[in-house]
Amino acid sequence: MALAKISQSELELMEDDQAIIDLYLSDPARFTVCEFYKMGQCKFGEECAYMHPPDLALDDEGNDIY
Interface with Zn ion includes 48 (CB under 5 A)? yes
User: In angstroms, what CA-CA distances link 23 with 15, 18, 54?
Assistant: 13, 9, 20
Report how far Cα 30 is from the mean position of its chain's Cα atoms: 7
CB of 20 to Zn ion, least distance (A): 20
CA distance 50 to 19: 19
Per-residue binder mask for Zn ion (CB under 5 A), 6-45, x = binder: ----------------------------x-xx----x-x-
Write out the residues near Zn ion by the rule CB under 5 A.
34, 36-37, 42, 44, 48, 50
